[in-house]
Amino acid sequence: MRTGVRLPPPPFSDLLRGIPQYLISYGRLGDVHLKLVIFAFTFSPIIILDLVTKRWALEALSYSSSQLFGGLIPLTLAFNKGAAFGISIGEDSRWFFVPVTILALALLGGLLKQTSENDFLKIFSVSLVISGALGNLYDRVRWGRGVVDFIGPIDLGRWDFPIFNVADMAISCGAILLAISFWMEEQAQSRPRASEVVEQLDELEALKELPDKEVS
C-alpha cells in the first residue's frame, strides 16, 4: 500500500503560460531545420558533382585534353595552387589559403545562422559559397599539388578565361546571388526611410497652408 501525499495537478493557468515558450522554442527549431534542409539540398549535389568530376578529370585528362560542344569548351587538367580561376599569388600558397578558407567558412556560417528563415535567396547563396569553398579546401588539405581544375581555358577573343572547376562555379554564382541579396535588403530598408521623408514634407506643406493664427 502506497503512502504519501498525492500532489494536485498544476493549475490550468500554468499550462497556458508554458505554451508560448513552447511555441517559440518550436519555431526556432523549425527555422534551424529549414536552413539545414536548404543547405543540405545545395551542398550535397555540388560536393558530389565536384568530387566526381575532379576524379574523372584526373583519370581521363592526365595524358590528353578533351572538349565539349565541338571545341567551344576545352577540358584541360591543371593543378591550381592559387585562388579561384587560376589566380596565383605565389608558387606554394597552400598554407595561406587553408586558414583563410577556414576563417571565411566560419564567417559564412555565422551569416547563415543570423539569416532569417524567410530569406531564401541569402540562405541559398551562402550555401553555394560554403559548398564550393569546402570542395576546394578538400583538395588543398589532401595534397600539395593544388586544386584540381579542368574546365577551360575558354577562348574569349583577346584573352583566355582561366581554367576552373565545379566548386569555382558554385563560389562565383553564390557570391553574385549574395551581392544581389544584400542589394535587395538595402533597397527594402531604404523604402521606409523614403516614405518617412515624404510624410514629413507633406506635414510641412500642410503647416504652410494654415493661417498664421492657427500656426501660432
- The per-residue pLDDT for range 16-52, each reduced to its tens digit, is 444 444 434 444 545 568 899 999 999 999 999 999 9
In a domain, 117, yes or no: yes
At 74 the pLDDT is 94
- pLDDT band for position 56 (50/70/90)? very high
In a domain, 68, yes or no: yes
At 124 the pLDDT is 97
Q: Which of 14, 92, 155, 168 is catalytic?
A: 168
At 81 the pLDDT is 83
Q: What is the 3-state secondary structure (H, E, C) of 148-184?
A: EEEEECEECCCCEECCECHHHHHHHHHHHHHHHHHHH
pLDDT, one tens digit per residue, over 58-69 is: 999 998 889 888
More confident residue, 107 or 157: 107
In a domain, 16, yes or no: no
Give yes or no: 168 in active site.
yes
In a domain, 110, yes or no: yes
Average pLDDT over residues 107-131: 94
Instruction: Please work out, in degrees rounded to the nearest 5, the angle formed at the alpha carbon of residue 168 by the alpha carbons of 154 and 141.
Output: 125
Phi, psi of 62, rounded to the nearest 5 degrees: -70, -30
Q: Which of 149, 155, 160, 202 is catalytic?
A: 149
* Contact call for residues 38 and 123 (beta carbons, < 8 A): yes
Give yes or no: 92 in active site.
no
The C-alpha atoms of residue 29 and residue 21 are separated, in whole angstroms, by 12
In a domain, 208, yes or no: no
What cell does 24 get? Answer: 517559440
Give me the percent of the chain exceeding a pLDDT of 90: 49
Amino acid letter, 82: G
In a domain, 211, yes or no: no
Average pLDDT over residues 161-178: 95
Q: Which helix (DSSP H) or strand (DSSP E) does residue 53 occupy?
A: helix 12-60
In a domain, 213, yes or no: no
Phi, psi of 111, rounded to the nearest 5 degrees: -65, -40
Instruction: Please work out, in degrees rounded to the nearest 5, the angle formed at the alpha carbon of residue 135 by the alpha carbons of 130 and 138.
Output: 120
**Cα separations in angstroms, 149 against 40, 58, 120:** 24, 10, 30
In a domain, 65, yes or no: yes
Domain with 56 in it: 35-203
Q: How many domains does the chain have?
A: 1
- The pTM (predicted TM-score) of the whole model is 0.73
At 209 the pLDDT is 66
* Contact call for residues 135 and 168 (beta carbons, < 8 A): no
Average pLDDT over residues 81-104: 76
